[in-house]
Amino acid sequence: MFNGSETTVTLVIILVALGVLGWGYNRARSYGKLGILAWLQSVVLTLPWLLFFGLVSMGIYLNIVGILFLLVASTGLYIYLGRLLRAAGQDEVWRERATKLFEEQQQSKDAQKSEEQDTAAYKNLTAVSEGPNTTRIGVATIPDEDLQLIKGIFGIDTFFATETIKYQEGAIFTGNLRGNDAELVHSRLSANLEEKLSDRYRLFLVDNPEGKPVVIILPSSNDPRTTTVAQKILALVLVIATFFTTLEVSGLLLDFDLFSEPERFREALPITIGIWIVLITHELGHWWQAKAHDIRLSLPFFLPSLQIGSFGAMVRFESLLPNRKVLFDISLAGPAVGGVVSLLMLMAGLVLSHQGSAFQVPAEFFQGSILVGGLAKLVLGSALQESLVDVHPLTIVGWLGLTITALNLMPAGQLDGGRIVQAIYGRKTARLATIATLVILGILALINPANPIILYWGILILFLQRGLERPSLNEITELDDTRAL
């Protein structure tokens, strides 16, 4: 059963989540059926875990069958609602297009033939709902004049297009890539596209399922969205929540509960500041490389944790990535910088450790990691033979930082590790790595239920970060040997 502070935090999180769901419902109503269905999807993902943690906080534990039932039921309902949402979305699209078509035909009527034109417009509108002409109207989402201009960007020295397939509000061009320099081809095609149609469209050079290069043209209106006001408020709330969880963890390390003894919060500040130095330097690493490549990033959405203070932060790309090299550089920079800072803290803590240091940890503490154990043996030497080892607080902060870095380097979805795998090996391998990571985390959570970090992190990945990063503009060019190594 949770202790008093964990129970309080759990109840607060549940109340906040319910409040967010209520606020989301009020917003969803203004969007009609589509909004309600999207809101129900968020409810289906949220309520099972609110129920699970609410029961645990009251001392009621579900067995593995109950947990699996919650997972399967919520997943099934989510998929079902997703189908309803897509169907409703298609209906809305057809309705809007039919209305637009009808209005255009109405405006082009000749005054002397209004009755005949009205009849023709009515037949066209009926054809949309009945189906025979649905494909024709639905496919013609990109203006023909734009499509003709786009076809003119190709050439025998860049990409020889053999087939054109209208896709959403853009088009897919299959054909043959000329030459071995995909980067140069993409650059020339993009320049030609911008010259003809300004910045109205984006050109993606990707592999199709058969591994052959194709060009996909999509409107710039599909570019990543910037952070909304609501998302900025959420980011601020998560910063505050993470600050309190890092304070609480620091207090527990010092053998007191911050929620029971809030007047002692100053004692927890040094360790809290150390954890935040790791978190901030991690994000600064991402921002450093993003600025170097002229890529916009969202605000970091920190993930609070009552076990290690924080799981790190989620960051979205608000710009299209030009290639996989940029994805690799930005993704690696965060854990590289944060990891180095954590390692330096750990080493400094070990060097400063002496008999009578602030913390006493079991000797087994250093056996969970080859890196930490090796450094401890090198610095502390015979002190590791004692059952309890005195260590400096920086040792604990460095260990926490390395743990946070390791969690974010797991090869799954939009974690730093998942993005790195996608940049090196491509989307297919990244998708398989994500599935394998989630399966392994699930097995470890069952084998070692005493360690809740595994379960919590697996849940966060499953519901928040399992999806792959969107393709870069040039998805074909692989990393150079230096980056790959």
pLDDT recorded at residue 124: 38
Show which of 47, 82, 101 is a domain's final residue. 101
Per DSSP, the chain holds a count of helices (H) and strands (E) of 16, 8
Could you give the CA distance from residue 324 to residue 334 in angstroms, rounded to a whole number?
16
Contact 279, 243 (CB under 8 A): no
Cα–Cα distances in Å, from 233 out to 228, 305, 458?
9, 19, 26
Weakest mean pLDDT among 41-50, 222-231, 439-448:
41-50
122 pLDDT above the threshold of 60: no
Q: What is the dihedral of CA 311, 312, 316, 321, to 10 degrees?
A: -120
Contact 183, 477 (CB under 8 A): yes
Work out the number of other CB atoms within 10 angstroms of the CB of residue 123.
Answer: 11
Quick one: 431 and 285 in the same domain? yes
Mind listing the pLDDT tens digit for each residue in 273-295?
999 999 999 999 999 999 999 99
pTM higher than 0.85: no
Q: Identify whether 131 is part of a domain.
A: no
Per-residue pLDDT averaged across 459-475, rounded? Answer: 86
5 pLDDT above the threshold of 60: no
Could you give the CA distance from residue 343 to residue 371 in angstroms, rounded to a whole number?
10
Quick one: 240 and 211 in the same domain? no
184 pLDDT above the threshold of 70: yes
Sequence letter at residue 296: R
Quick one: 208 and 313 in the same domain? no
Quick one: 279 and 425 in the same domain? yes
Q: What is residue 139's three-state secondary structure? A: helix
Mind listing the pLDDT tens digit for each residue in 69-101?
666 677 777 777 777 777 766 555 555 555 555
Look at residues 1, 59, 3, 14 and name the one whose alpha carbon lies nearest to residue 260.
3
Range of the domain at 72: 4-101
* DSSP-derived secondary structure for 281-296: HHHHHHHHHHHHTT--
Quick one: 238 and 216 in the same domain? no
Quick one: 69 and 187 in the same domain? no
Could you give the CA distance from residue 124 to residue 144 in angstroms, rounded to a whole number?
19
Per the rule left: phi > 0, alpha: psi between -120 and 50, beta: everything else, 268 is alpha
Contact 99, 92 (CB under 8 A): no
Q: Which of 5-19, 138-152, 189-203, 349-363 has the highest mean pLDDT?
A: 189-203
Quick one: 422 and 345 in the same domain? yes
Q: Identify whether 385 is part of a domain.
A: no
DSSP 219: E
Quick one: 81 and 22 in the same domain? yes
Weakest mean pLDDT among 35-49, 195-209, 344-358:
35-49
Tracing tokens 């980056």 back to the chain, one arrives at 483
pLDDT recorded at residue 130: 39
Q: Which two tokens stand for residue 217?
A: 């043209």
Contact 296, 319 (CB under 8 A): yes
Q: Identify whether 444 is part of a domain.
A: yes
Quick one: 458 and 340 in the same domain? yes
pLDDT recorded at residue 114: 44
Q: How far apart are the first and last CA of the chain?
A: 46
Weakest mean pLDDT among 126-135, 240-249, 343-352, 370-379:
126-135
Higher pLDDT, 20 or 287: 287
Cα–Cα distances in Å, from 206 out to 172, 218, 317, 322, 460?
10, 13, 19, 12, 30
Mind listing the pLDDT tens digit for each residue in 418-465?
999 999 988 889 999 999 988 888 888 878 777 788 888 888 888 888
Q: How many domains does the chain have?
A: 3
Q: Which two tokens stand for residue 230?
A: 């609501």
Q: What is residue 453's three-state secondary structure? A: helix
Find residue 201's DSSP bridge partners: 219
Higher pLDDT, 283 or 13: 283
* 232, HSE (Cβ side, Cα atoms, 13 Å): 4
CATH code, 189: 3.30.1360
Look at the alpha carbons of 120, 126, 131, 134 in this order and tell me if their dihedral is positive or negative: positive
Mind listing the pLDDT tens digit for each residue in 290-338?
999 999 999 999 999 888 899 999 999 999 999 999 999 999 999 999 9
Quick one: 22 and 82 in the same domain? yes
* DSSP-derived secondary structure for 322-342: SBHHHHHHHHHHHHHHHHHHH
Q: Which two tokens stand for residue 192?
A: 């030609």
